[in-house]
């Protein structure tokens, strides 16, 4: 089996997907903009060959790289980046090289545009926020009159929480129009809830073979815009109502042979969209949860999701065991904030629970923080106490 993996060096944990494929006997060909000598030894040993391009943004260069691999090794059976940023390019490459194991360009609108995602969520019977595609101030004010302040504004085709704003009054709306660019934006009613996720690996028949979920205690939008510390965890189990919604969404979006990260609101009070304690759809991401979070899933479930994904790609199934279930909590610190405990004091106090800690790549630090501590903890109360202690700031 011949597999092309786009950008295997970033995020830096993605070499593990390549290792899983190589473990299964696949030929793994990497395409990236990082010089070969700068690749990690682990990644080099996980690739059959690597093709460097000057820029992954240059489609012609990436096209020639795929063509080179086909000329040398034969047809490509699977092509993937597992990266939100490259989904549309992945789809175009599949179409141009007749690779049928993945999304094609005609599938992209429903998985990239937030307004189109809502229609698919609705098909699955999942409630979603009311929305308005931003046109002019008058149109936005008419929508706000219907739903009230605050409202959320973000790019209709965007990645993560970048350029996501909370509009609390007309002055905020004026400021938004002064700064907005020409790309399409979507305006949504504000939903009072905690963001949770359904993370799953879907087999070739569209059935989930592994399921987990994370919970972000604070608003991702506020963490990014206000540079707050990050508190995100993989929970020890997936609530049944959330699991059922996730599975319904998998069917509605026609997902096959992918790892997905679907986001939902867990409502904290009764509101138009639903009762407190129920779930509503936010958006879908047709890729793994971001950055190091797949590794957190491994720690929480004593398994290897990178290998499970590779098993699905190569064999169509996986029998990788899942072990004990615990919370795996990520505490992300910001360089711009001052904390009560030093790094050394955190490591000493939680030496039995912390399983990893590291600086974060600047491209991912926007969401996760500049330095992260990962800890496995047995209970929800232990998680909260851990966050209170590790992220306590000096007054």
What is the C-alpha separation between 154 and 337, in angstroms, rounded? 26
What is the C-alpha separation between 245 and 238, in angstroms, rounded? 11
DSSP tag of 14: G
What does the pLDDT look like over 132-164, one tens digit per residue? Answer: 999 999 999 999 999 999 999 999 997 766 688
**Residue 187 φ then ψ, to 5°:** -110, 130
What does the pLDDT look like over 246-271, one tens digit per residue? Answer: 999 999 999 999 999 999 999 999 99
What is the C-alpha separation between 62 and 266, in angstroms, rounded? 41
What is the C-alpha separation between 40 and 343, in angstroms, rounded? 26
Question: How many angstroms separate the most distant Cα atoms in the chain?
Answer: 63
The reported pLDDT for the residue numbered 290 is 85
pLDDT above 80 for 131 = yes
- Predicted TM-score (pTM) of this structure: 0.92
What is the C-alpha separation between 352 and 294, in angstroms, rounded? 22
Strand order in the sheet with 185-189: 131-133, 185-189, 151-155, 165-167
**Residue 354 φ then ψ, to 5°:** -75, 125
What is the C-alpha separation between 289 and 222, in angstroms, rounded? 19
Q: What is the mean pLDDT of the chain?
A: 95
pLDDT above 90 for 216 = no
- 238 near 211, Cβ under 8 Å? yes
DSSP codes, 153-200? EEESS--TTTT-EEE-SHHHHHHHHHH--SS-EEEEE---EEEEEEEE
The reported pLDDT for the residue numbered 160 is 62
What does the pLDDT look like over 321-374, one tens digit per residue? Answer: 888 899 999 999 999 999 999 999 999 999 999 999 999 989 888 888 999 999
Report how many helices (DSSP H) and strands (DSSP E) the chain contains, helices first: 15, 17
What is the C-alpha separation between 361 and 370, in angstroms, rounded? 8
Token pair for 325: 């279930």
Query: Which stretch of 51-55, 197-201, 226-230, 371-375 has the lowest confidence by average pLDDT?
Result: 226-230
What is the C-alpha separation between 376 and 354, in angstroms, rounded? 7
pLDDT above 80 for 12 = yes
């Amino acid at each position: 089996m011949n597999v092309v993996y786009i950008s295997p060096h970033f995020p830096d944990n993605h070499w593990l997907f390549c290792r899983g494929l190589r473990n299964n006997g696949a030929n793994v060909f990497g395409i990236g903009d990082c010089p070969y000598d700068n690749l990690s030894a682990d990644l080099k040993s996980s690739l059959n060959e690597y093709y460097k391009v000057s820029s992954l943004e240059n489609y012609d260069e990436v096209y020639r790289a795929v063509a080179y691999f086909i000329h040398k090794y034969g047809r490509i059976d699977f092509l993937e980046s597992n990266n939100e940023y490259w989904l549309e390019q992945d789809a175009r490459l599949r179409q141009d090289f007749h690779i049928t194991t993945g999304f094609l360009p005609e599938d992209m609108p429903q998985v990239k545009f937030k307004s189109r995602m809502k229609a698919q969520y609705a098909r699955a019977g999942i409630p979603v926020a009311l929305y308005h595609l931003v046109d002019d101030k008058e149109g936005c004010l008419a929508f706000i009159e219907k739903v009230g302040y605050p409202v959320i504004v973000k790019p209709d085709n965007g990645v993560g929480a970048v350029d996501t704003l909370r509009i609390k009054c007309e002055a905020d709306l004026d400021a938004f129009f002064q700064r907005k660019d020409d790309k399409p934006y979507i305006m949504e009613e504000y939903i009072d809830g905690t963001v949770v996720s359904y993370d799953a690996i879907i087999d070739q028949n569209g059935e989930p073979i592994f399921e987990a979920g994370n919970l972000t205690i604070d608003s991702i939008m506020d963490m990014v815009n206000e540079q707050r510390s990050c508190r995100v965890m993989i929970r020890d189990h997936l609530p049944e109502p959330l699991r059922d919604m996730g599975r319904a969404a998998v069917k509605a979006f026609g997902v096959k042979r992918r790892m997905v990260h679907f986001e939902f609101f867990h409502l904290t009070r009764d509101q138009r969209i639903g009762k407190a304690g129920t779930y509503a759809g936010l958006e879908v991401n047709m890729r793994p949860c971001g950055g190091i979070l797949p590794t957190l899933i491994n720690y929480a479930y004593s398994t290897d999701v990178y290998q499970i994904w590779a098993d699905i790609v190569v064999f169509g199934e996986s029998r990788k065991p899942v072990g004990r279930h615990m919370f795996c909590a990520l505490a992300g610190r910001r360089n711009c904030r001052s904390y009560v405990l030093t790094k050394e004091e955190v490591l000493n106090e939680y030496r039995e629970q912390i399983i990893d800690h590291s600086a974060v790549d600047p491209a991912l630090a926007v969401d996760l923080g500049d330095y992260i501590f990962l800890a496995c903890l047995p209970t929800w109360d232990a998680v909260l106490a851990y966050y209170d202690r590790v992220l306590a700031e000096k007054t």
